[in-house]
Amino acid sequence: MSAEPLSQDGLAAPGPASAGPAGARPRRLAPVRAVPPPPTTPIVRPGRHAAPEDAADTPDRPTPSVPTPQPPSPQPRPEPARADETAEQHAARRVRQTWTEVEPHADELADWFAALLFSLAPDVRALFPARVTEPARRLLRSLVLPMSTVDRPGELRPMLEPLVREHRALGLRAEQYEVLGVALIGAMRRFGRSWDEPTEHAWVRAFSLAAGPMEQAVRAAAVPAVAEGTVVSHRRLSWDLAVLHVAPDAPVPHRAGQYLTVEIPQRPRMWRPLSPARAPRPDGLLEFHVRAVEGGWVSRAMVAHAAPGDRWRLGPPAGRLGLDLRSAREVLMVAGGTGGAPVLALCEDMARWARPRPCTVFVGGRVPEDLTVLDRLHELAEAHPWLAVAAVCEDDPLDERTQPGTLPDAVVRGGDWSRHDVLLSGSPAMIRATASALLVDGVALDRITYDPFTE
């Protein structure tokens, strides 16, 4: 597990040089020659990289019109890799470079990608909601993220699992990866400022390397993509926080700390990861703590409009947050906001163990109301001496249950964690700040595990 800080665009920054995936040979992506060149008629709006007034992903935004595929373009010639880099490193570097260029135009790129995709594979249209920008942007990112990591197989493989599960939850089939690659590269051609033949060659190579394992994983997965469940309670804690209980038709097998990708009737086909806040129960009941993020499509609907009786679709469990059963080390868990959900689930799970490991939990939020798991954690700590709980709030320092300040400061002040296994849960910003503080404080990188709460 790595705590490598994420770059602003969400892609992992280049890491130490490593060989390409053992035995992985780039599969030739034949149909890439048929990528439609940039249409002469703009799909979404005039002007290359123009930022017109409809740039926001508003509910009224129409699905972009579909460009007509054009005759094949010439096969790109490979740019010689630097003397000190492998072909995989060269491809990943080019992908990262070009992605940085297009990131400011993510919405236009997503519209273009979707339009190409639907023109090449009309049946894929049915997998997307009416407004395609946001899910297309997520899909794009989930393809580019592993492409930017094909030079680091140790990081690539664990990354593929959650991405592939989300692709399956969306309803994508293994045979559709090829057309995804064609649409991706067609869209990048349109928006990559420095796009040229060697760049295209690098993208094709990176996609070929990343798509092969994704295809295989989709084919190999035996569990059904979704289960269904009914919302049995919805309690609004504040304007932006709610606790929901969902009773699945049959228990969804999962481990404490894992997340499920869910789809709600108010936002069809917009799947979001949510972490059950309690350890798995025999009756399968799931508890979710949801915060409505500003401008959030799904979280706002979950908090404001979800209601008992709603039928939710549930994707298979995923995620790497968990306790290494072979380790005997003490545990430090740090959770920001609704990141407390998987941490509570893990503590409840450990309470069932014959020999729980000493564990310190820090939960933090802006105000005490953000600490949705604090009462239950205190109950557990009262019953189990191996558990210690500390709560931190940025505002409202007068609350007697909390100490003022930020999570990273409080954690570093709170002890020497260099011999602990560390689990972090929350937003990427909280994880970055806490991981950096712990690294400076002497915690080894490979002892830190996290699932950032956004994509």
Ligand X SMILES: Cc1cc2nc3c(=O)[nH]c(=O)nc-3n(C[C@H](O)[C@H](O)[C@H](O)COP(=O)(O)OP(=O)(O)OC[C@H]3O[C@@H](n4cnc5c(N)ncnc54)[C@H](O)[C@@H]3O)c2cc1C
**Of 20 and 337, CB closest to ligand X:** 337
What is the closest distance, in whole angstroms, from the C-beta atom of residue 319 to ligand X in the complex? 6
290 contributes a contact to ligand X by CB under 6 A? yes
DSSP state of 6: B
**Of 238 and 418, CB closest to ligand X:** 238
In contact, 5 and 74? CB cutoff 8 Å: no
Contact with ligand X (CB under 6 A) among 112, 259, 417, 450? 259
Contact with ligand X (CB under 6 A) among 273, 280, 315, 365? 273
181 contributes a contact to ligand X by CB under 6 A? no
What is the closest distance, in whole angstroms, from the C-beta atom of residue 321 to ligand X in the complex? 8
Q: Which residue has the tokens 């692709």?
A: 167
What is the closest distance, in whole angstroms, from the C-beta atom of residue 296 to ligand X in the complex? 2
Subset of 118-157 contacting ligand X (CB under 6 A): 134
272 contributes a contact to ligand X by CB under 6 A? yes
In contact, 348 and 258? CB cutoff 8 Å: no
Contact with ligand X (CB under 6 A) among 15, 265, 296, 368? 296
237 contributes a contact to ligand X by CB under 6 A? no
What is the closest distance, in whole angstroms, from the C-beta atom of residue 171 to ligand X in the complex? 18
Report the amino acid identity of residue 276. P
- φ, ψ for residue 104 (rounded to 5)? -65, -15
Q: Which stretch binds ligand X (CB under 6 A): 81-89, 149-157, 293-301, 438-446?
A: 293-301
**Of 185 and 298, CB closest to ligand X:** 298
Q: Which residue has the tokens 């899909």?
A: 139
Subset of 68-127 contacting ligand X (CB under 6 A): none
Contact with ligand X (CB under 6 A) among 91, 182, 206, 274? 274
Q: Which stretch binds ligand X (CB under 6 A): 13-21, 283-291, 346-354, 367-375?
A: 283-291
In contact, 243 and 235? CB cutoff 8 Å: yes
The full DSSP string for 269-318 is T--EEE-BSS---TT--EEEEEEPPTT-HHHHHHHHT--TT-EEEEEEEE
What is the closest distance, in whole angstroms, from the C-beta atom of residue 342 to ligand X in the complex? 7
Range 422-431 burial, b when 16+ CB lie within 10 A, else e: bbbbbbbebb
Contact with ligand X (CB under 6 A) among 29, 140, 341, 347? 341
d(CA 313, CA 227): 6
Contact with ligand X (CB under 6 A) among 166, 240, 421, 451? 451
Q: Which stretch binds ligand X (CB under 6 A): 174-182, 183-191, 227-235, 446-454?
A: 446-454
**Of 134 and 200, CB closest to ligand X:** 134
Angstrom distances, CA of residue 213 to CA of 147, 208, 239, 403 = 11, 9, 43, 47
- φ, ψ for residue 274 (rounded to 5)? -135, 145
Contact with ligand X (CB under 6 A) among 20, 280, 319, 336? 319
**Of 181 and 257, CB closest to ligand X:** 257
293 contributes a contact to ligand X by CB under 6 A? yes
In contact, 110 and 136? CB cutoff 8 Å: yes
Print the binding letters for residues 416-435 with ligand X: x by CB under 6 A, - otherwise.
Answer: -----------x--------
- φ, ψ for residue 305 (rounded to 5)? -125, -15
d(CA 124, CA 63): 14
d(CA 385, CA 362): 16
In contact, 369 and 375? CB cutoff 8 Å: no
Subset of 204-223 contacting ligand X (CB under 6 A): none
* Nearest-CB residue for ligand X: 296
Q: Are strands 403-404 and 387-393 parallel, antiparallel or unpaired?
A: parallel
Q: Tokens at residue 167, please?
A: 């692709």
- Per rule CB under 6 A, count of chain residues that contact ligand X: 25
The helix-helix angle for 133-147 and 177-191 (nearest 10°) equals 100
> Which residues bind to ligand X, rule: CB under 6 A?
134, 259, 272-275, 288-291, 293, 295-300, 319, 338, 341, 427, 451, 453-455
